[in-house]
Structure 1
Protein backbone atom coordinates (compact mmCIF):
# COMPACT_ATOMS: atom_id res chain seq x y z
CA UNK A 1 0.00 0.00 0.00
CA UNK A 2 1.52 3.34 -1.00
CA UNK A 3 1.13 6.68 0.78
CA UNK A 4 -1.72 7.86 -1.43
CA UNK A 5 -3.80 4.71 -0.95
CA UNK A 6 -3.09 4.71 2.79
CA UNK A 7 -4.16 8.34 3.05
CA UNK A 8 -7.43 7.76 1.12
CA UNK A 9 -8.37 4.75 3.24
CA UNK A 10 -7.55 6.60 6.46
CA UNK A 11 -9.62 9.63 5.47
CA UNK A 12 -12.55 7.34 4.65
CA UNK A 13 -12.32 5.74 8.11
CA UNK A 14 -12.18 9.14 9.80
CA UNK A 15 -14.77 10.94 7.70
CA UNK A 16 -17.40 12.76 9.75
CA UNK A 17 -19.33 16.02 9.41
CA UNK A 18 -16.96 17.85 11.79
CA UNK A 19 -13.71 16.61 10.20
CA UNK A 20 -11.46 18.27 7.62
CA UNK A 21 -8.26 16.91 6.05
CA UNK A 22 -5.18 18.71 4.78
CA UNK A 23 -2.50 16.61 3.08
CA UNK A 24 1.05 17.88 2.59
CA UNK A 25 2.30 15.77 -0.31
CA UNK A 26 5.90 16.94 0.01
CA UNK A 27 6.14 15.92 3.67
CA UNK A 28 3.68 12.99 3.50
CA UNK A 29 1.88 14.60 6.43
CA UNK A 30 -1.87 14.45 6.99
CA UNK A 31 -3.58 16.97 9.28
CA UNK A 32 -6.96 15.96 10.65
CA UNK A 33 -8.93 18.92 12.01
CA UNK A 34 -12.01 19.07 14.20
CA UNK A 35 -13.81 21.92 12.45
CA UNK A 36 -15.97 22.69 15.48
CA UNK A 37 -12.96 23.20 17.74
CA UNK A 38 -10.47 24.55 15.17
CA UNK A 39 -7.99 22.04 16.53
CA UNK A 40 -6.35 19.03 15.00
CA UNK A 41 -3.52 16.54 14.82
CA UNK A 42 -0.71 15.96 12.34
CA UNK A 43 0.22 12.46 11.23
CA UNK A 44 3.46 11.43 9.60
CA UNK A 45 2.17 8.80 7.17
CA UNK A 46 5.65 7.54 6.33
CA UNK A 47 6.25 6.87 10.01
CA UNK A 48 2.93 5.09 10.42
CA UNK A 49 3.61 2.82 7.46
CA UNK A 50 7.16 2.11 8.59
CA UNK A 51 5.99 1.07 12.06
CA UNK A 52 3.73 -1.56 10.51
CA UNK A 53 5.42 -2.26 7.20
CA UNK A 54 4.12 -5.84 7.08
CA UNK A 55 0.57 -5.00 8.14
CA UNK A 56 -0.72 -1.73 6.74
CA UNK A 57 -4.30 -2.59 7.65
CA UNK A 58 -3.23 -2.72 11.29
CA UNK A 59 -1.59 0.69 10.85
CA UNK A 60 -4.88 2.04 9.48
CA UNK A 61 -6.87 0.69 12.41
CA UNK A 62 -4.41 2.03 14.99
CA UNK A 63 -4.20 5.46 13.34
CA UNK A 64 -7.99 5.77 13.08
CA UNK A 65 -8.44 4.70 16.70
CA UNK A 66 -5.80 7.16 17.88
CA UNK A 67 -7.24 10.11 15.93
CA UNK A 68 -10.81 9.41 17.00
CA UNK A 69 -9.91 9.05 20.67
CA UNK A 70 -7.71 12.16 20.58
CA UNK A 71 -10.35 14.36 18.96
CA UNK A 72 -12.98 13.02 21.33
CA UNK A 73 -10.65 13.93 24.21
CA UNK A 74 -10.38 17.45 22.80
CA UNK A 75 -14.16 17.68 22.81
CA UNK A 76 -14.08 16.88 26.52
CA UNK A 77 -11.36 19.52 26.98
CA UNK A 78 -7.68 18.85 27.65
CA UNK A 79 -7.02 17.71 31.21
CA UNK A 80 -3.54 18.28 32.65
CA UNK A 81 -4.07 17.08 36.21
CA UNK A 82 -2.52 13.63 36.57
CA UNK A 83 -0.71 13.97 33.24
CA UNK A 84 2.16 16.16 34.39
CA UNK A 85 4.72 13.62 33.12
CA UNK A 86 3.31 14.03 29.60
CA UNK A 87 4.05 17.76 29.31
CA UNK A 88 7.04 18.56 27.08
CA UNK A 89 8.64 21.61 25.47
CA UNK A 90 8.68 21.84 21.68
CA UNK A 91 10.84 24.21 19.65
CA UNK A 92 9.39 26.22 16.80
CA UNK A 93 10.56 29.12 14.68
CA UNK A 94 9.66 32.63 15.84
CA UNK A 95 7.27 32.85 12.87
CA UNK A 96 5.09 30.11 14.39
CA UNK A 97 1.69 31.50 15.56
CA UNK A 98 1.27 32.41 19.22
CA UNK A 99 -2.51 32.04 19.01
CA UNK A 100 -4.88 29.33 17.82
CA UNK A 101 -7.20 29.92 14.88
CA UNK A 102 -9.97 30.82 17.32
CA UNK A 103 -7.83 33.45 19.08
CA UNK A 104 -6.69 31.55 22.17
CA UNK A 105 -3.15 32.25 23.40
CA UNK A 106 -0.69 29.39 23.25
CA UNK A 107 1.74 28.85 26.10
CA UNK A 108 5.25 29.81 25.02
CA UNK A 109 8.55 31.24 26.21
CA UNK A 110 11.06 33.29 24.28
CA UNK A 111 14.27 31.43 23.49
CA UNK A 112 16.59 32.86 20.80
CA UNK A 113 16.21 35.30 17.93
CA UNK A 114 15.37 32.28 15.72
CA UNK A 115 13.46 29.97 18.05
CA UNK A 116 10.63 29.96 20.56
CA UNK A 117 9.63 27.34 23.14
CA UNK A 118 6.03 26.10 23.17
CA UNK A 119 4.53 23.57 25.57
CA UNK A 120 2.62 20.45 24.60
CA UNK A 121 0.69 17.57 26.12
CA UNK A 122 1.83 14.25 24.71
CA UNK A 123 -1.08 12.07 23.58
CA UNK A 124 0.88 9.04 22.44
CA UNK A 125 1.53 9.18 18.70
CA UNK A 126 1.03 12.97 18.62
CA UNK A 127 0.77 15.95 20.93
CA UNK A 128 -1.39 19.03 21.30
CA UNK A 129 -0.08 22.53 21.98
CA UNK A 130 -1.15 23.88 25.36
CA UNK A 131 -3.20 27.03 25.65
CA UNK A 132 -2.79 29.57 28.43
CA UNK A 133 -6.49 29.32 29.25
CA UNK A 134 -6.31 25.53 29.70
CA UNK A 135 -3.37 25.77 32.10
CA UNK A 136 -4.90 28.56 34.15
CA UNK A 137 -8.25 26.78 34.36
CA UNK A 138 -6.51 23.85 36.07
CA UNK A 139 -4.45 26.05 38.37
CA UNK A 140 -1.10 25.81 36.56
CA UNK A 141 1.02 28.91 36.06
CA UNK A 142 3.19 29.27 32.98
CA UNK A 143 6.29 28.92 35.16
CA UNK A 144 5.00 25.62 36.57
CA UNK A 145 4.31 24.28 33.06
CA UNK A 146 7.79 25.35 31.99
CA UNK A 147 9.43 23.62 34.97
CA UNK A 148 7.46 20.41 34.35
CA UNK A 149 8.34 20.42 30.65
CA UNK A 150 12.05 21.02 31.22
CA UNK A 151 12.15 18.31 33.88
CA UNK A 152 10.42 15.83 31.56
CA UNK A 153 12.68 16.54 28.59
CA UNK A 154 15.68 15.71 30.77
CA UNK A 155 14.21 12.23 31.31
CA UNK A 156 14.26 11.41 27.59
CA UNK A 157 16.97 9.25 26.06
CA UNK A 158 20.07 11.14 24.96
CA UNK A 159 21.55 8.45 22.73
CA UNK A 160 23.21 9.73 19.58
CA UNK A 161 25.20 8.75 16.52
CA UNK A 162 28.36 10.49 15.41
CA UNK A 163 30.15 11.09 12.14
CA UNK A 164 33.47 12.74 11.30
CA UNK A 165 33.75 15.03 8.28
CA UNK A 166 36.86 17.00 7.30
CA UNK A 167 38.32 16.59 10.78
CA UNK A 168 35.14 17.73 12.55
CA UNK A 169 32.79 15.53 14.59
CA UNK A 170 29.00 15.76 14.30
CA UNK A 171 26.63 14.22 16.84
CA UNK A 172 23.05 13.43 15.72
CA UNK A 173 20.13 12.94 18.11
CA UNK A 174 17.33 11.42 16.03
CA UNK A 175 15.00 9.19 18.07
CA UNK A 176 11.86 10.23 16.12
CA UNK A 177 9.73 10.69 19.23
CA UNK A 178 8.78 14.26 18.29
CA UNK A 179 11.15 15.84 20.83
CA UNK A 180 14.61 15.50 19.27
CA UNK A 181 15.08 19.26 18.82
CA UNK A 182 13.65 19.75 22.34
CA UNK A 183 16.68 17.98 23.76
CA UNK A 184 18.55 21.23 23.14
CA UNK A 185 16.78 22.35 26.34
CA UNK A 186 18.37 19.52 28.32
CA UNK A 187 21.15 21.76 29.62
CA UNK A 188 23.14 19.09 31.52
CA UNK A 189 23.27 16.92 28.37
CA UNK A 190 24.38 19.79 26.12
CA UNK A 191 26.94 20.96 28.67
CA UNK A 192 28.36 17.45 29.01
CA UNK A 193 28.79 17.13 25.22
CA UNK A 194 30.31 20.59 25.02
CA UNK A 195 32.77 19.95 27.85
CA UNK A 196 34.37 17.16 25.81
CA UNK A 197 34.68 19.21 22.64
CA UNK A 198 38.09 20.20 21.31
CA UNK A 199 37.47 23.43 19.47
CA UNK A 200 34.11 25.21 19.18
CA UNK A 201 30.69 23.78 19.97
CA UNK A 202 28.00 24.54 17.38
CA UNK A 203 24.39 23.37 17.45
CA UNK A 204 21.64 23.10 14.83
CA UNK A 205 17.91 22.40 15.17
CA UNK A 206 16.81 22.46 11.52
CA UNK A 207 13.58 20.58 12.23
CA UNK A 208 11.81 19.01 15.19
CA UNK A 209 13.08 15.48 14.55
CA UNK A 210 16.81 16.12 14.78
CA UNK A 211 19.36 17.84 17.00
CA UNK A 212 22.90 18.29 15.68
CA UNK A 213 25.79 19.09 18.00
CA UNK A 214 29.05 19.79 16.18
CA UNK A 215 32.63 19.70 17.39
CA UNK A 216 34.20 22.28 15.09
CA UNK A 217 37.98 22.02 14.82
CA UNK A 218 38.59 23.93 11.58
CA UNK A 219 36.92 26.43 9.25
CA UNK A 220 35.63 23.70 6.93
CA UNK A 221 33.49 22.41 9.81
CA UNK A 222 31.33 25.52 9.71
CA UNK A 223 30.73 25.09 6.01
CA UNK A 224 29.76 21.43 6.47
CA UNK A 225 27.39 22.30 9.33
CA UNK A 226 25.78 25.12 7.34
CA UNK A 227 25.08 22.86 4.36
CA UNK A 228 23.87 20.09 6.63
CA UNK A 229 21.48 22.36 8.54
CA UNK A 230 20.08 23.82 5.31
CA UNK A 231 19.47 20.36 3.82
CA UNK A 232 17.76 19.08 6.97
CA UNK A 233 15.67 22.26 7.20
CA UNK A 234 14.35 21.80 3.67
CA UNK A 235 13.54 18.12 4.20
CA UNK A 236 12.07 18.27 7.70
CA UNK A 237 8.42 17.59 8.49
CA UNK A 238 8.26 20.62 10.83
CA UNK A 239 11.14 23.00 9.99
CA UNK A 240 12.54 25.24 12.74
CA UNK A 241 15.61 27.15 11.53
CA UNK A 242 18.40 26.63 9.00
CA UNK A 243 20.74 28.85 11.03
CA UNK A 244 23.15 27.00 13.34
CA UNK A 245 24.15 28.39 16.73
CA UNK A 246 27.47 28.85 18.44
CA UNK A 247 27.24 27.44 21.97
CA UNK A 248 29.42 29.15 24.55
CA UNK A 249 29.04 29.50 28.33
CA UNK A 250 25.49 28.16 28.15
CA UNK A 251 24.45 30.76 25.56
CA UNK A 252 23.30 30.26 21.97
CA UNK A 253 24.27 32.76 19.30
CA UNK A 254 22.98 32.37 15.70
CA UNK A 255 25.82 32.23 13.18
CA UNK A 256 25.79 33.07 9.47
CA UNK A 257 28.07 30.78 7.52
CA UNK A 258 29.55 32.09 4.28
CA UNK A 259 32.06 30.26 2.10
CA UNK A 260 34.58 28.33 4.19
CA UNK A 261 35.40 31.00 6.69
CA UNK A 262 34.76 30.76 10.40
CA UNK A 263 32.26 33.50 11.44
CA UNK A 264 33.40 36.19 13.79
CA UNK A 265 32.07 35.88 17.36
Structure 2
Protein backbone atom coordinates (compact mmCIF):
# COMPACT_ATOMS: atom_id res chain seq x y z
CA UNK A 1 0.00 0.00 0.00
CA UNK A 2 1.30 3.49 -0.83
CA UNK A 3 2.96 5.13 2.22
CA UNK A 4 0.63 8.14 2.00
CA UNK A 5 -2.29 5.83 2.73
CA UNK A 6 -0.91 5.30 6.23
CA UNK A 7 -1.02 9.00 7.09
CA UNK A 8 -3.58 10.77 9.30
CA UNK A 9 -5.73 7.64 9.64
CA UNK A 10 -7.34 8.26 6.24
CA UNK A 11 -7.28 4.64 5.09
CA UNK A 12 -8.54 3.46 8.49
CA UNK A 13 -11.48 5.86 8.30
CA UNK A 14 -12.37 4.76 4.76
CA UNK A 15 -12.18 1.09 5.80
CA UNK A 16 -14.54 1.65 8.73
CA UNK A 17 -16.90 3.70 6.54
CA UNK A 18 -16.97 0.89 3.97
CA UNK A 19 -17.46 -1.89 6.53
CA UNK A 20 -19.88 0.15 8.67
CA UNK A 21 -18.22 -1.54 11.63
CA UNK A 22 -14.97 -1.69 13.56
CA UNK A 23 -11.92 -2.54 11.43
CA UNK A 24 -8.36 -2.83 12.72
CA UNK A 25 -6.57 -4.47 9.82
CA UNK A 26 -6.93 -1.98 6.98
CA UNK A 27 -7.12 -3.75 3.60
CA UNK A 28 -4.66 -2.67 0.94
CA UNK A 29 -5.85 0.18 -1.27
CA UNK A 30 -4.97 -0.14 -4.99
CA UNK A 31 -3.82 3.44 -5.41
CA UNK A 32 -2.96 6.68 -3.64
CA UNK A 33 -5.33 8.35 -1.15
CA UNK A 34 -5.14 12.16 -1.07
CA UNK A 35 -3.89 12.96 2.41
CA UNK A 36 -4.13 16.78 2.55
CA UNK A 37 -5.69 19.65 0.66
CA UNK A 38 -4.01 20.49 -2.65
CA UNK A 39 -5.95 23.72 -3.14
CA UNK A 40 -3.00 26.09 -2.70
CA UNK A 41 -0.08 23.75 -3.40
CA UNK A 42 0.19 20.17 -4.67
CA UNK A 43 1.52 17.42 -2.45
CA UNK A 44 5.33 17.86 -2.28
CA UNK A 45 5.77 14.17 -3.18
CA UNK A 46 3.33 14.30 -6.10
CA UNK A 47 6.15 14.30 -8.66
CA UNK A 48 7.28 10.89 -7.39
CA UNK A 49 3.89 9.26 -7.97
CA UNK A 50 3.61 6.96 -10.99
CA UNK A 51 1.30 8.55 -13.55
CA UNK A 52 -0.59 5.27 -13.92
CA UNK A 53 -1.33 5.02 -10.19
CA UNK A 54 -4.98 5.68 -9.40
CA UNK A 55 -5.48 8.64 -7.06
CA UNK A 56 -8.48 8.62 -4.73
CA UNK A 57 -9.05 12.32 -4.13
CA UNK A 58 -11.40 14.35 -1.99
CA UNK A 59 -13.46 16.13 -4.62
CA UNK A 60 -14.09 16.85 -8.26
CA UNK A 61 -12.23 20.13 -7.68
CA UNK A 62 -9.12 18.09 -6.84
CA UNK A 63 -9.71 15.94 -9.95
CA UNK A 64 -9.69 19.06 -12.14
CA UNK A 65 -6.53 20.46 -10.53
CA UNK A 66 -4.66 17.17 -10.92
CA UNK A 67 -5.80 16.95 -14.55
CA UNK A 68 -4.28 20.38 -15.20
CA UNK A 69 -1.01 19.06 -13.76
CA UNK A 70 -1.03 16.13 -16.17
CA UNK A 71 -2.63 13.39 -14.03
CA UNK A 72 -5.52 11.50 -15.59
CA UNK A 73 -6.32 8.51 -13.37
CA UNK A 74 -8.26 9.82 -10.36
CA UNK A 75 -11.59 9.26 -8.63
CA UNK A 76 -13.39 11.57 -6.19
CA UNK A 77 -14.49 9.74 -3.03
CA UNK A 78 -15.23 12.52 -0.55
CA UNK A 79 -12.59 13.44 2.02
CA UNK A 80 -11.75 11.04 4.85
CA UNK A 81 -12.70 13.88 7.21
CA UNK A 82 -16.30 13.94 5.97
CA UNK A 83 -16.46 10.15 6.12
CA UNK A 84 -15.29 10.45 9.73
CA UNK A 85 -18.18 12.81 10.47
CA UNK A 86 -20.65 10.29 9.02
CA UNK A 87 -19.53 7.27 11.02
CA UNK A 88 -19.55 6.56 14.74
CA UNK A 89 -16.06 7.79 15.75
CA UNK A 90 -16.02 5.21 18.52
CA UNK A 91 -15.51 2.57 15.82
CA UNK A 92 -12.00 3.97 15.32
CA UNK A 93 -11.01 3.59 18.97
CA UNK A 94 -10.17 0.77 21.34
CA UNK A 95 -13.18 -1.48 21.78
CA UNK A 96 -15.60 -0.74 24.59
CA UNK A 97 -18.56 -2.87 25.71
CA UNK A 98 -20.74 -3.74 22.73
CA UNK A 99 -24.49 -3.27 22.61
CA UNK A 100 -25.84 -6.79 21.88
CA UNK A 101 -28.75 -5.35 19.91
CA UNK A 102 -26.68 -3.27 17.48
CA UNK A 103 -23.31 -5.02 17.61
CA UNK A 104 -21.68 -1.60 18.01
CA UNK A 105 -19.87 -0.02 20.98
CA UNK A 106 -22.12 1.47 23.62
CA UNK A 107 -22.36 5.25 23.51
CA UNK A 108 -20.10 7.37 25.65
CA UNK A 109 -21.62 8.26 28.99
CA UNK A 110 -19.57 11.36 29.76
CA UNK A 111 -21.30 14.72 29.41
CA UNK A 112 -20.71 16.95 26.42
CA UNK A 113 -18.40 19.88 27.18
CA UNK A 114 -19.39 23.33 25.96
CA UNK A 115 -16.68 24.47 23.52
CA UNK A 116 -14.65 27.47 24.66
CA UNK A 117 -11.53 29.32 23.58
CA UNK A 118 -9.63 29.47 20.30
CA UNK A 119 -7.57 26.69 18.75
CA UNK A 120 -4.70 28.19 16.75
CA UNK A 121 -2.68 26.42 14.04
CA UNK A 122 0.66 28.04 13.24
CA UNK A 123 3.06 27.40 10.39
CA UNK A 124 6.35 28.77 11.72
CA UNK A 125 8.70 28.47 8.74
CA UNK A 126 12.24 29.74 9.28
CA UNK A 127 11.07 32.25 11.91
CA UNK A 128 10.34 29.48 14.40
CA UNK A 129 9.26 30.77 17.79
CA UNK A 130 9.99 34.38 16.78
CA UNK A 131 6.66 34.34 14.96
CA UNK A 132 4.70 33.47 18.11
CA UNK A 133 4.04 36.95 19.61
CA UNK A 134 2.64 38.40 16.39
CA UNK A 135 0.46 35.41 15.55
CA UNK A 136 -0.96 35.21 19.07
CA UNK A 137 -1.69 38.95 19.07
CA UNK A 138 -3.53 38.63 15.74
CA UNK A 139 -5.53 35.64 16.99
CA UNK A 140 -6.54 37.52 20.13
CA UNK A 141 -7.72 40.40 17.96
CA UNK A 142 -9.85 38.01 15.89
CA UNK A 143 -11.40 36.11 18.80
CA UNK A 144 -11.36 37.53 22.31
CA UNK A 145 -10.91 34.21 24.08
CA UNK A 146 -8.13 32.07 25.59
CA UNK A 147 -5.81 30.58 22.98
CA UNK A 148 -4.39 27.08 22.68
CA UNK A 149 -1.80 26.47 19.97
CA UNK A 150 -1.95 23.10 18.19
CA UNK A 151 1.67 22.30 17.37
CA UNK A 152 2.82 19.81 14.80
CA UNK A 153 4.59 16.82 16.30
CA UNK A 154 7.92 18.23 15.14
CA UNK A 155 7.28 21.72 16.52
CA UNK A 156 6.08 20.27 19.83
CA UNK A 157 9.46 18.53 20.12
CA UNK A 158 11.29 21.85 19.53
CA UNK A 159 11.92 23.43 22.93
CA UNK A 160 12.39 27.06 21.70
CA UNK A 161 9.03 27.01 19.93
CA UNK A 162 7.20 25.66 22.98
CA UNK A 163 9.03 28.17 25.20
CA UNK A 164 7.96 31.07 22.97
CA UNK A 165 4.31 30.31 23.65
CA UNK A 166 4.84 29.54 27.32
CA UNK A 167 6.40 32.99 27.71
CA UNK A 168 3.17 34.46 26.34
CA UNK A 169 1.04 32.47 28.77
CA UNK A 170 -0.40 30.42 25.91
CA UNK A 171 -1.05 26.70 26.24
CA UNK A 172 0.20 24.32 23.57
CA UNK A 173 -0.92 20.85 22.56
CA UNK A 174 1.02 18.27 20.57
CA UNK A 175 -1.00 17.03 17.59
CA UNK A 176 0.96 13.79 17.66
CA UNK A 177 2.44 11.91 14.71
CA UNK A 178 0.74 12.13 11.34
CA UNK A 179 1.74 8.60 10.36
CA UNK A 180 -0.41 5.71 11.57
CA UNK A 181 1.39 3.52 14.10
CA UNK A 182 1.35 -0.07 12.84
CA UNK A 183 -0.25 -2.53 15.23
CA UNK A 184 -1.31 0.26 17.57
CA UNK A 185 -4.76 1.03 18.93
CA UNK A 186 -3.81 4.69 19.46
CA UNK A 187 -6.31 7.08 17.84
CA UNK A 188 -5.27 8.22 14.37
CA UNK A 189 -4.48 11.87 13.73
CA UNK A 190 -7.79 12.88 12.13
CA UNK A 191 -9.68 11.33 15.04
CA UNK A 192 -7.44 13.13 17.55
CA UNK A 193 -8.02 16.37 15.65
CA UNK A 194 -11.79 15.81 15.64
CA UNK A 195 -11.90 15.37 19.42
CA UNK A 196 -9.57 18.35 19.90
CA UNK A 197 -11.59 20.73 17.73
CA UNK A 198 -14.86 19.79 19.42
CA UNK A 199 -13.52 21.39 22.61
CA UNK A 200 -13.01 24.85 21.07
CA UNK A 201 -15.44 27.58 20.08
CA UNK A 202 -13.21 29.14 17.38
CA UNK A 203 -10.37 28.01 15.13
CA UNK A 204 -7.68 30.21 13.59
CA UNK A 205 -4.51 29.75 11.54
CA UNK A 206 -1.82 31.95 10.04
CA UNK A 207 -2.14 30.24 6.65
CA UNK A 208 -5.05 28.94 4.59
CA UNK A 209 -5.05 25.21 5.40
CA UNK A 210 -7.32 22.19 5.55
CA UNK A 211 -7.86 22.44 9.31
CA UNK A 212 -9.95 25.54 8.63
CA UNK A 213 -12.13 23.51 6.27
CA UNK A 214 -12.50 20.89 9.00
CA UNK A 215 -13.46 23.55 11.55
CA UNK A 216 -16.05 25.03 9.20
CA UNK A 217 -17.61 21.58 8.74
CA UNK A 218 -17.99 21.48 12.54
CA UNK A 219 -19.71 24.90 12.39
CA UNK A 220 -16.85 26.64 14.18
CA UNK A 221 -16.12 30.27 13.23
CA UNK A 222 -12.68 30.55 11.63
CA UNK A 223 -10.09 33.27 11.04
CA UNK A 224 -6.94 33.57 8.96
CA UNK A 225 -4.58 35.68 11.05
CA UNK A 226 -1.14 37.05 10.19
CA UNK A 227 1.67 36.96 9.80
CA UNK A 228 2.30 34.02 7.52
CA UNK A 229 5.78 32.46 7.71
CA UNK A 230 6.87 33.94 4.37
CA UNK A 231 5.33 37.36 4.97
CA UNK A 232 2.97 37.09 2.01
CA UNK A 233 -0.78 37.73 2.26
CA UNK A 234 -2.87 34.60 2.95
CA UNK A 235 -3.90 32.64 -0.13
CA UNK A 236 -7.55 33.02 0.89
CA UNK A 237 -9.64 34.87 3.45
CA UNK A 238 -11.76 33.15 6.07
CA UNK A 239 -14.94 34.01 4.14
CA UNK A 240 -13.50 32.50 0.96
CA UNK A 241 -12.50 29.32 2.81
CA UNK A 242 -15.98 28.95 4.31
CA UNK A 243 -17.52 29.31 0.85
CA UNK A 244 -15.18 26.64 -0.57
CA UNK A 245 -15.45 24.11 2.25
CA UNK A 246 -18.14 21.80 0.88
CA UNK A 247 -16.59 21.70 -2.59
CA UNK A 248 -13.04 21.13 -1.35
CA UNK A 249 -13.96 18.44 1.17
CA UNK A 250 -16.14 16.75 -1.44
CA UNK A 251 -19.53 16.84 0.26
CA UNK A 252 -21.24 16.24 -3.08
CA UNK A 253 -18.77 13.49 -4.00
CA UNK A 254 -19.20 11.22 -0.97
CA UNK A 255 -19.31 7.54 -1.88
CA UNK A 256 -21.62 5.11 -0.11
CA UNK A 257 -20.17 2.09 1.79
CA UNK A 258 -20.82 -0.36 -1.06
CA UNK A 259 -19.30 2.05 -3.56
CA UNK A 260 -16.14 2.29 -1.43
CA UNK A 261 -15.96 -1.50 -1.19
CA UNK A 262 -16.29 -1.88 -4.95
CA UNK A 263 -13.87 0.95 -5.75
CA UNK A 264 -11.13 -0.36 -3.46
CA UNK A 265 -11.79 -3.97 -4.51
CA UNK A 266 -12.70 -4.90 -0.93
CA UNK A 267 -16.08 -6.54 -1.67
CA UNK A 268 -14.60 -9.81 -2.97
CA UNK A 269 -12.04 -9.99 -0.16
CA UNK A 270 -14.75 -9.63 2.46
CA UNK A 271 -16.86 -12.28 0.81
TM-score band w.r.t. shorter chain: under 0.3
Q: Which has the higher helix share?
A: 2
TM-score by length of 1: 0.24
Taking structure 2 as the reference length, the TM-score comes to 0.24
Q: Tell which has more relative contact order, 1 or 2 (C-alpha 8 A, sep 6+).
A: 2
Whose strand fraction is larger, Structure 1's or Structure 2's?
A: 1
